[in-house]
Amino acid sequence: MKQIIERIKTHALLNFGKQIESCTEKEKYVALSKAIMEEVVLDWEDSKNKFEGKKKAYYLSAEFLMGRALSNNLINLNEKEKVEDILSEIGLSYNDIEEAEEDAGLGNGGLGRLAACFLDSAATLDYSLTGYGIRYEFGIFKQKFINGFQVEEADNWLEYGDPWSIRKNSEKIVVSFSDQDVVAVPYDTPIIGYGKNTINTLRLWKSEPINVFDFEKFNDQKYDLSVKEKNNAENISKVLYPNDSNEEGKILRLKQQYFFVSASLQDMIRKFKVNNTDFKKFPDFHAIQLNDTHPAVAIPEMMRLLTEFEGIRWEDAWEITVNTFAYTNHTLLAEALEQWPVKLYKKLLPDVYKIIVKINTQLKSDLKKKKIDKKDFGKFEIISDKNIKMAFLSIYGSFSTNGVAQLHTDLLIHSELKDWYDLYPERFNNKTNGITQRRWLLQSNPELSEYITELLGSDSWITSLEKLKELEKFSDDTKVLTKFMEIKQEKKDQLAKYIKEHEGIDVDPSSIFDIQIKRLHEYKRQILNALYILDLYFRLKEDKNLDIVPRTFIFGAKAAPGYFRAKGIIKFINDIKELINNDEEIDGKIKIVFVENYRVSYAEKLFPAADISQQISTAGKEASGTGNMKFMLNGAPTIGTFDGANVEIVEEAGEENNFIFGLRVEDIEEIEDSYNPNTEYNKIKGLKRALDTLVDGTFDDGETGMYKELYDSILKGASWHKSDVYYVMKDFDSYRDAQQKVNDEFKNKLGWAKKCWINMANAGKFSSDRTIEQYSKEIWKIEKNK
């Protein structure tokens, strides 16, 4: 214990020139984290060595939404209580230090959080899984609200450095574009499995210049030009998902994708060649998973590296490539199936483009061999209409394509990618997403975790979440349910206090905490929730005695900087918040909170406190969702559509314990050609009044035109889509009925507690441990270290 104290004090002096007592909380966090890293590094090295010579998996992802590292690492090391005691001994507050840690700015949405959960599960289960991505200097952005508008500020998460990563200068790699060469510098972060048996690696690449500084230009007093190469190189890893509304932004995004993919593949090949000369064995040691299409350029880049640098015949290189790569599809949205203009690839990556052309030519030859009619080639071609279709490239160049929920996979097979499934049925499979219970229950809800362990008589659920099923026997036990709801109330009290401190809003902890937290996108239908709230407000204004349980509606979401309509929805919700929260006539029966700068650390407080989980996407549009699983695990029923993993949640916990509403996929298919939202708009009581607030002067969009554009998008459509493309009007009445059912059933305290309990007890399927076991055995074919 004394040794750790001395390390903390030493790091405070080394890094900040201060005694630990004089350091800021952020500085204390850095000193503590570096002290812990000293204990980790030797085990980390041992862990790498034990997998030497075995097949390993590699996860290529544009984002890794890791959240805070300190508590997660200490929990997995089984040392959190010990460290809390150590800090207390020298007069330091662990909670204050924990709160000082910035969320790592390496991800934005569910795709990035899934990647983080997968890394945690693989290490915990003793599988070798290395993550590869970009070390973004700034995250996507810090969100501020000014007059209800989203304003983006730089997310300088690395202001105090990153004590959990190690820069590996000796393993730099050069990545070449047509207009510049850059150096990819790896930063390695340990991914500590629960119990510390395995510590895997997240390797993130930072882009730096070949020549840091042009002294001659500086001497000629051309100061800007003297650092131009440095600035251009560093821009590549500067910001997660830069705005790509113009060509310059698109070029930067393409550079990001190629940069981390090329560096990662070169890294793997370099390490492979240390002990191997026969590249036909490369798939025997590597399984590379493409997390969506952002890293799809890996397929032609692998072909380029093998044929041009390793001298391998095209046919052999193709066999190696296909047997190495696997692809995860994360979307059914046509606009989200990534395509790149041919002209950008020709301009930036001409050698890679030539490889893609050759792959496309080979594909047509394969189609001919499979007796596909030539007139149907267009259904498969990777290069089409002056665009490169990255999903098609990913399917053709890999041995496995998986969806992320059973409904999603079924729709891929029978609808969106049916032609490809008919061509390669053996390549398609489902891997329903999951979440790690170590972060989303053990860390974020220690009170419930402790009670679960007490009831089960063991903490084995921490690595075997299916054990929760044994809790179902308590579903009619009044004493257990009462204790369970006391814990829920404790988490609600904590959240209410946090909201007051950070948002300045007083909320009633005894009200229904109705929470919708996710990326802001039209298909996720935050606007359906907003229209319902407005309708409820107007009904309450008309009838002060309306029988409603007080409700707190909580939103958390960021809109992409260039997504005008999504920003309009944020402004609309914030305007509704101001209207309702400042109306004393309704006596606080409704409150709205839009949490600013929603992120993992905030989410850890929101999920455990939720009474109801909003999962209201248009049926067939949400591939899976993982927020729904986090709510379920913490004992919140779902109000949602029959979409994504909601379908499997209902299968596990029963539709009677959730609140399913709205059109299903087959219903939408039946009406999509004839649907006119104006029918519902004029017919459904209260709907017109709520929607018209966008244009009748109730709210002011600051002359941006965003409210009229949002209104027209629903009733008239736009040049690129039909009216009400996400069926907000059609599902409104059904949604309102489901919300009324929530209101009515919440009044029965024990009945509600039972719903919550059964959801929690049946969440075992949705552990990322289960998902990783399936990937490892069924796709990657890797084994645990024994």
Active site residues: 330, 518-519, 524, 626, 630
- Quick count: other Cβ atoms within 10 Å of Cβ 703? 6
Contact 600, 745 (CB under 8 A): no
Contact 327, 395 (CB under 8 A): yes
> 């409210």: which residue's tokens?
707
Give bridge partners of residue 195 from the DSSP assignment: none
Question: CB neighbours of 413 closer than 8 A, spacing ≥ 6?
Answer: 421, 428
With b meaning 16 or more CB within 10 Å and e meaning fewer, what string describes 646-678? bbbbbebbeeebbbbbbbbbebbeeeeeebebe
Runs of H (alpha helix) within 563-705: 564-581, 600-609, 627-633, 646-653, 665-671, 677-683, 687-692
- Quick count: other Cβ atoms within 10 Å of Cβ 422? 12
CA 356 to CA 763: how far, in whole Å?
A: 43
Runs of H (alpha helix) within 412-477: 418-423, 437, 446-456
DSSP string of 266-328, one letter each residue = HHHHHHHHHH---GGGHHHHEEEEEESSTTTTHHHHHHHIIIIIS---HHHHHHHHHHHEEEE
Contact 635, 759 (CB under 8 A): yes
- Tokens of residue 70, six digits: 């300190």
> 């902890």: which residue's tokens?
509
SS3 category, 561: coil
SS3 category, 100: helix
Read off the DSSP letter of residue 160: T
- Amino acid at residue number 231: N
CA nearest to 401, candidates 376, 419, 374: 419
CA 495 to CA 636: how far, in whole Å?
A: 15
- Tokens of residue 552, six digits: 């707190």
Question: CB neighbours of 663 closer than 8 A, spacing ≥ 6?
Answer: 618, 619, 641, 671, 727, 730, 731, 734
E strand or H helix at 514: strand 512-517
CA 662 to CA 190: how far, in whole Å?
A: 44
Backbone angles phi, psi at 457, to 5 degrees: 75, 15
Residue 270, CA distances (Å) to 1, 199, 222, 287, 306 in order: 41, 22, 39, 16, 12
Give bridge partners of residue 513 from the DSSP assignment: 552
SS3 category, 78: coil
Taking each helix axis as running N to C, give the angle between helix 2-16 and helix 80-89, from 0 to 180 degrees, rounded to the nearest 10: 70
SS3 category, 174: strand
> 């301009």: which residue's tokens?
347
CA nearest to 714, candidates 683, 680, 684, 737: 680
CA 630 to CA 642: how far, in whole Å?
A: 18
- Tokens of residue 108, six digits: 């934005």
242-245, Cβ contacts within 8 angstroms, sequence gap of 24 or more: 243/560, 243/561, 243/562, 244/562, 245/562
SS3 category, 182: strand
SS3 category, 626: coil
